[in-house]
Amino acid sequence: MEGFHKNMTAFPTLFSPFRIGSMEIRNRIVMPAMETHLCDKEGFVTKELISYYRERAKGGVGYITVENTSVDPAGRINDGMICIHEDRYIQGLTKLVDEVHKVGGKLVIQLNHAGKEALTYFTGQGVVAPSAIPSPLTRTMPLELSTKGVGDTVERFAQAAQRVLKIGADGLEIHMAHGYLVSQFLSPESNIRTDIYGGDTGGRARFAREIVEAIRARIPRDYPLICRISADEYTEKGLKLEESKVIARILEEAGASAIHVSACNSTSAFYNIPCYYLEEGCFIHLAAGVKSVVKVPVIAVGRVLRPAMAEKILQEGKADLVSMGRALIADPDLPRKAGEGRLEDIRPCISCNRCIESVAEGKLVCTVNPHIGKEWELEEMPRPRPKRVLVVGGGPAGLSAAATAGELGHKVWLWEKDTDLGGKYRYASMAPRKEDMKKFLEYLIRQTKRYAVKIECDKEATVDAIRQFAPDAVILAYGSKDEFLDIPGAMNNNLFEIKEAFSKATKLGEKVAIIGGGPEGCELGDFLLSKGKKVTIIEMRRMLGIGLVAHPRFHISIRLKNGGAQILTNTKVVEVGHGYVVVNRRGENSQRLEGFDCIVVSCLHKPNESLVGPIKDVAKEVYLAGDAREGRTALEAVSDGAEIALKL
């Protein structure tokens, strides 16, 4: 950690030491529990999981909270959930703790039972809850947990806590938030019991209190026991801050060492992990409210992306520590870089929530960090022989390839035919609330300039130019072949495509039709609405934004509706003319919509192999990257570029 504290005076509170019980922490930055699905299907620790957490410990975070860990096989959410409900899991978890400790990190294990959010088809057992109210996500009707069942579950938490002690972890956290079992008991929305575990606040908090008391009876008095709560569930009948203050005091009296203040439940999941459409620091007021009534430390969370914001939260006394979750997925070295004053070197999280979507589909990935789950490969990879590398195209794929290859020691040149770097991503970052995407593009450009020998814009990559350059390897990241959708009239009526519409918004007129309500069409619609234009979006599928992660798709749909856009789904455009479109809606006759000053058409993004064949005899290695290989998202583009660079 040499040099780590050189410039920490910029953030004196954030980089001051702290203590929770017996755990001494080098700074106030917390990595909260976030699923990775990097364990194996039985819930055992893997090499990938260890490497992922070790990398973040090396980056200088105050302490790490390992993702939700199962105390009961019936309470597993899926096969990506780590387990601690039996002694056979101790060996792997001990190895995880030891590896984190070797690099100076501190590790807390989060204990959880999913309750009615567990999946019967996966666990093979019926799901349980405080009351027989279906899950808003799975629609499964749970069994009401009996009084004996409550006691048995308390015991499972206590036994799991004993295993946490055995593995040598620095502390434990009880997951009492986000609509899982303990949260379900706390909430008046999901707990309508009439026995001692229901009713008023004290009754609904009894289960949580008994868990804390049972654990505290079996662990040292000063061993950190942290409770994570949803202080506001953002639903009509759910918990609100004032009642959560009472719950926080109950947990403190029961023996909690700290309160980690989050928000939301399964019903309000679109706000739970705030994407770029929600404000930075959107839940901090909840931590401040809880801190006003308890004496134990309070941990804040809620889209905290920048060290400056974390410092401000601490200096204003709204919390004692700050969780920076997705920001540490994006850049595990964020604490180290911030402490050394290297803010421009921090790889920014763009809050796109592809990480959340990826976990539901498989293992964790990140749009801006292509190395998630592969940290061990990078550690063991030998340094390659330096090559003369030409990257053609300065979009996300090309920039990622150039920066990664340069960092590995290759001699890299980048050619871009346009005047500016960024490709189509430059236009995507122009849409409202996409400022962080622009910051990421600026980061990629800085990194490329840092490592590339030379970057040339307004440079066309012809076969002769590439032959004259004589590279060892060529990475073709020059984008896709874009073609208008095959609609009668589309080629003859001076239509705009998405990129053009972003760059020439003042020339579109007042009334604009957008054919194609995918991610590009929706974001263009939002952009044009912000410019005061009247927008009609026509989408042939049943919903807007297919291809976006669920969280931003939910929010942009609301933004478009609130902004006054006319939205036509299940609608196919069958003809385009000067200022009009003809559409077919399911079950209706064709309709002519007219009076448009401009019509924008989404393009088909097709692979672009135009230079592959002609330059095969020029370079030993030729690669296609990003949209040139297949039209996809920025995540795939950045990942493509980095993976190709690692192959060189």
Q: Which residue numbers are catalytic?
A: 180
H helices, E strands: number in the chain: 23, 28
CB-based contact 248:259 (threshold 8 Å): yes
Calculate the alpha carbon distances from 390 to 48, 178, 201, 418, 648 in Å. 32, 48, 65, 16, 12
175 closest CA partner among 228, 254, 114: 228
DSSP structure class, residue 402: H
Backbone φ, ψ for residue 216 (5° rounding): -60, -30
Backbone φ, ψ for residue 622 (5° rounding): -130, 125
What whole-number distance in Å separates Cα of residue 2 and Cα of residue 137?
Answer: 47
Q: Which amino acid is at 577?
A: G
CB-based contact 364:372 (threshold 8 Å): yes
DSSP structure class, residue 297: -
- 246 CB burial (10 A radius; 0-12, 13-18, 19+): middle
Task: Pull the structure tokens for residue 24.
Answer: 């001494």
230 closest CA partner among 294, 186, 188: 186
Q: Which residues of 36-69 are buried (b: 16+ CB within 10 A; e: fewer)?
A: bbbbeeebebbebbbbbbbbbbbbbbbbbbbbbb
CA atoms within 13 A on the CB side of 614: 12
Q: What SS3 class is residue 476?
A: strand
Cα-trace Rg, the chain: 27
